[in-house]
Amino acid sequence: MEYVVKGYEPKRVFEIFEDICAIPHGSGNESDVADYVENFAKKLGLFSFRDDAGNVFVRKEATSGYEDKPAILLQGHMDMVCEKNADSDHDFLRDGLKLSVKDGFLWADGTTLGGDNGIAVAMILALLETDKHPLLECLFTVEEETGLDGAKAFDCSVVTAKKMINLDSEEEWQITAGCAGGCRTEVDFNYSACEASNTATALKISVTGLSGGHSGAEIHCGKTNAIVALARILGAVWAEEKFSLVSFCGGGKDNAIAREAFATILVEDEKKASLAAINEVWGIRKELCHDDKDLLVKVDCVDNPQKCISLDETEKIVAFLSCVKTGVLKMSNDIKGLVEYSRNLGVAETNSQRIKFILSARSSIESQLDLSCRELDMLCALSGAECAHYARYPGWEYAPVSELRDDYAAAYKKLFGKDISVGVIHAGLECGILSSKMTGMDVISVGPNMHDIHSPDEHLDLASCERVWKLLLEVITKK
């Protein structure tokens, strides 16, 4: 295999990562990567097993001189978020990623890179090839991106370590020591299609060009959600010119800020509807952050459909979209700059009988997740939609004392001559689930710099990978 990354260290980490990128591994489709991990362990003569959920566990005994040192659990997830540009023909079920290096960063061509969390898998496997370490236990989980299901299913009784390094963070300069919990909600508007008016005009409204991003890590960055923007445009059109909705679709993942959204509507007064849409877009443009400067909104006449959604049912859908609260809902009172509670509208889909929306709520306080569920239940009851909550997971509470955290901070100071930050994040991590199953586990989450994860602009800082690798070696080989 001809590798793309050349001239960067650690060479072995990048080779393994490129091997992983060549294997399709979206959430629910991790079996081939799991095969790769198991075969990797087998070649090294290591103990490994795969559980019924698809998680892979590998153990390597301590090397000479480290037999008395505390065991360490290394953990990352095997699945990736599969997002691509509208003009990409990439098939995430069959195709490997097309990679390129530019200005010290590794990119994928028109798709997500899967550095979240493939680089963790690569680093852990490379560490298994090293010859100075205590007992290493390695856990590679599945379906993290769709609800942390692998971590929920894993039987932690096999783990003997009392220290755990999760490698699912994206900021080299920070040790993550706590995270939010979350819950997903599916909202379904079931409708009976009616005959489309012969006198109406079909308009397709497209919202594209937005930057998107991670709905936890970047929810506070002012990024515009394409589904929310389109809903706002439809609300403005409805106020001026009633219409029948034909379809509404957008986004791809509930944990990603939607970059694109599309709706087709039937209107009697095309000019009035178009003008209302354009006027609202001018207002949206004034609120854009710099990353979303390429916003493009188009209103095009398209062929009239045979079927549409009635005016009454359309009004209920537009009302729901106009009233549902999304984005940052509350900032922390205790930690400056930390989002405490948020909700992301990440997916909109339409078929012949249903329009579906999927939302993801996050909070470091369980009662706020309860509140999110109640609010959506009530709003759905008023608008005639069905509402189901699922994939709820706990947060990870900050521990005042952590020997592992102190060791990592000391290593950072030793290697780079400056202090590392310690923080709590709004994104969800598997640490909360796993540590709740293992009493007394000392946990940190770290990782190299990655940018624009969960979007086709995702890119991995190659030099940062080397620095994090050196940090891991320093901590693991400490005597």
Q: Are 108 and 14 in contact (CB under 8 A)?
A: no
Looking at residue 147, what is its pLDDT?
83
- Give the burial string for 302-312 (b: 16+ CB within 10 Å, else e): eebbeebbeee
Residues 472 and 259: their CA atoms lie apart, in Å, by: 35
Q: Are 59 and 73 in contact (CB under 8 A)?
A: no
Domains defined along the chain, listed by start: 11-180+395-476 (3.40.630.10), 183-393 (3.30.70.360)
Residues 173 and 425: their CA atoms lie apart, in Å, by: 13
- Site of tokens 């693991």: 476
Q: Which of 213, 149, 185, 182 is nearest to 358 (CA)?
A: 185
Radius of gyration of the chain (CA): 24
Q: Are 38 and 140 in contact (CB under 8 A)?
A: no
Looking at the DSSP bridge assignments, the partners of residue 111 are 84
Looking at the DSSP bridge assignments, the partners of residue 243 are 267
Looking at residue 307, what is its pLDDT?
93
Looking at residue 334, what is its pLDDT?
81
Reply yes or no: is the peptide bond before residue 10 cis, omega within 30 of 0. Answer: yes
**Residues annotated as catalytic (active site), given as ranges:** 79, 144
**pLDDT lower than 70: segments of the chain:** none
Looking at residue 394, what is its pLDDT?
87
Alpha-carbon 299 to chain mean position? 30
Reply yes or no: is the peptide bond before residue 29 cis, omega within 30 of 0. Answer: no
Tokens of 222: 């002012």
Inter-CA distances, 340 with 144, 261, 323, 455, Å: 21, 27, 21, 23
